Amino acid sequence: MPSFDIVSKVDGQLLDNAVNNARKEIVNRYDFHGSDTTIELDKKSNLITMVTENEMRLKAIQDVLISRMLKQQLDPECLDFGKEEYASGNMIRKEVRIKEGIDKETARKINNRIKEMKLKVQGSIMEDQVRVQGKKIDDLQAVIARLRAENFGQPLQFVNMR
């Protein structure tokens, strides 16, 4: 029986490239000249930490990071911007979490959308992914097309088509 998996993953190397390019751009920008601004990626915990002096620069760092992610063909919806917190002195720190995997509530929404299509397919939630099975490949492709058109708050990839 044909099937495919719906997952939400971020390519670590492309993310690393985007953060490094953003760091280089920030170092070379005139409005950041002489500032104590850093942007770091922790690959193990999937966390980007940005530290700078004021909120205006923090917003500029976010914009640079998003533009660099788009140039690397990464979807910026995978970023979960937390709230700013004051670090030592007059510095502001912001931690950005990278969303990977589909949480239970999003998986239920996806499953409900699949059932609403009234096609002869079945969706099953398997940890951090959703597996869709059906007898006809055309039905599976219709499901993929419909889910691509909707926004679930995080990027979705469709893999393991068999």
Map out the domains of the chain with their CATH numbers. Answer: 3-8+101-159 (3.30.70.860), 12-98 (3.30.70.990)
DSSP assignments along 7-51, one per residue: E----HHHHHHHHHHHHHHHHH-GGGTT---EEEEETTTTEEEEE
Compute the distance between CA of residue 160 and CA of residue 162 in angstroms, rounded to an integer.
6
- DSSP type of residue 101: S
In tens, the pLDDT along 48-59 reads 999 998 889 899
In tens, the pLDDT along 15-58 reads 999 999 999 999 998 988 888 889 999 989 989 999 998 889 89
Q: pTM for this structure?
A: 0.84
Residues in a beta bridge with 123: 132
* Kind plus residue range of the DSSP H or E element containing 111: helix 104-116
Q: How far is CA 64 from the centre of its chain?
A: 16
Q: Are 65 and 48 in contact (CB under 8 A)?
A: yes
